[in-house]
Amino acid sequence: MNTLLRQHAEQQFAEELSALKKNETQKIPENWVLSPQSVVTYLMGGKLSDGFEVSPKYIGQRRLMEIAVATLVTDRALLLYGLPGTAKSWVSEHLAAAISGDSTMIVQGTAGTGEESIRYGWNYAKLLAEGPTEAAMVQTPVMRAMREGKIARVEELTRIGSDVQDTLITILSEKSMPIPELDTEVQAIRGFNVIATANNRDKGVNDLSSALKRRFNTVILPLPATIDEEIDIVRRRVESFEKVMELPAEKPALEEIRRIVTIFRELRAGVTEDGKTKLKTPSGTLSTAEAISVMSNGLALSGYFGDGRINASDLVSGIIGAVVKDPVQDKVVWDEYMETVLKTRDGWKDIYRAARDWGE
C-alpha cells in the first residue's frame, strides 16, 4: 500500500491520542474522545503521568487554546480568526481530531460553495427514479457531524456568500436541520459543534451577519509573539515535512531558519529587528506558513541538486518568491531591503550575493 502523502491528525498522532486516553483522569463530555484538559495538553504538549511526552501542535498562548476548547463544550460554535498562516486550519484540524477522533468532516468555503454543501444535496438519478427519499439524499459533513455528535469544520467561512453562510443559523441556534422535502428534520446529538476559520485579509468580502456572529465565539490567533517562538514553529514543521518526504538532506541548521524568520518578521513589521531602520512592507503576508515552505523548498534543492547541506543559494529563490508577489511594487521593497539590510549585516553576505545573482 502506498504511503500517504499527508495523514489526518488523528492518524499521524494516534500514539499521542492513545496515551492521553490511557492517562485520562478528568471527566469526558458525551461523545468526546478526551476531556477538555487533555485536549489542551494535546495541543500545547506536555509530559503525562507515565512519562510519555506529547508534542506541541500549537506554539503560543495556552489561554487561547483553553478558551477554544471551553467554547466547544458549550452550545456556541468556535470561529478561529486571523492573518493567513497563523495556524487556523491546523488548530481546527487538531481540535476535531482530539475531540471527535475524526477531523475529516470539513466544508471548504469558496465563492462557489452552495447551500447544498452545508445542509444536504440529492443524488439526482435516485431523486428522479424514487422521488425525495432518505436514500436519495446526499449527506454533507455538517449533517453527518450532527447525527454522530462530532465536530464539523468550515474552512474560510467569509469566502462563502452571505446567503449561504446564514444556512448555519438554524443549525447553530436550534441544533437542528429541517428537511422540508421529507417533512422531517435532523437533530444534533451531544458532542456536535462547528469550528469555522476566517481570514482577516478577506474582511469586507462576505462579512458575517450579526445573527451569525452571535452564534460564534471568536478566538483571534495572532502571529508568533517572539522570533524564538516562530523559529520553533518553523523548525518543528520543517523537520516533520522532511521526515515524511524522506528528503536526502541534512536537518536545516537553526541559523538558516533564524535568518528566514528574521527577514520575514522585519519586512512584515516594516522595521529592522534593532528598530534602527524603517523598511517598506510588501503586499504579501510573509506568514509563518510561507517561511516553512521556503525552508522545505530549500531542503529539496540542497538534497537533490546540491550536497545535502542547505545554503543561501538554496533559500534565496524561495525568499524572493514569497516577498515579490507584485513584480513592480514588491521588487522595489525587496531591492531596498537587499541594499540597506542584507548588504550591511554581518554574516549575511552569502544571502546578499545569492539574492543579487538571482536578480541578474
* DSSP-H helix ranges across 216-274: 227-245, 254-269
pLDDT in tens, 120-138: 999 999 999 999 999 999 9
Statement: residue 153 has pLDDT above 60:
yes
Percent of the chain with pLDDT over 70: 98
Question: In this structure, which amino acid lies at residue 266?
Answer: E
Average pLDDT over residues 297-320: 90
* pLDDT at residue 240 in the model: 82
Percent of the chain with pLDDT over 90: 83
Rounded to 10°, the helix 312-323/254-269 angle is 20
Alpha carbon distance, N-terminus to C-terminus of the chain: 46
Report the C-alpha gap between 291 and 84 in whole angstroms: 12
Distance of CA 10 to CAs 3, 5, 84, 127, Å? 16, 15, 24, 36
Q: For residue 221, report the phi and psi dihedrals to the nearest 5 degrees.
A: -95, 115
Statement: residue 305 has pLDDT above 80:
yes
Report the C-alpha gap between 237 and 216 in whole angstroms: 30
Placement of cell 531591492 in the chain: 335
* pLDDT at residue 243 in the model: 73
| Of 148-162, 166-180, 193-207, 319-333, minimum mean pLDDT range | 193-207
Neighbours of 275 (CB within 10 A): 8
Statement: residue 237 has pLDDT above 60:
yes
Statement: residue 38 has pLDDT above 80:
yes
Average pLDDT over residues 99-106: 98
195: cell is 469550528
> What radius of gyration do the chain's Cα atoms show?
23
Statement: residue 2 has pLDDT above 60:
no
Statement: residue 41 has pLDDT above 90:
yes
258: cell is 533564524
β-strand 151-155 against 193-199: which pairing, if any? Answer: parallel
Average per-residue pLDDT for the chain: 93
* pLDDT at residue 1 in the model: 43
Average pLDDT over residues 104-117: 95
Q: Is 245 helix (H, G, I), strand (E, B) or coil?
A: helix
Q: For residue 162, report the phi and psi dihedrals to the nearest 5 degrees.
A: -60, -40
Average pLDDT over residues 317-324: 94
Statement: residue 250 has pLDDT above 80:
no
Average pLDDT over residues 31-50: 97
| Of 8-22, 43-57, 184-198, 295-309, minimum mean pLDDT range | 295-309
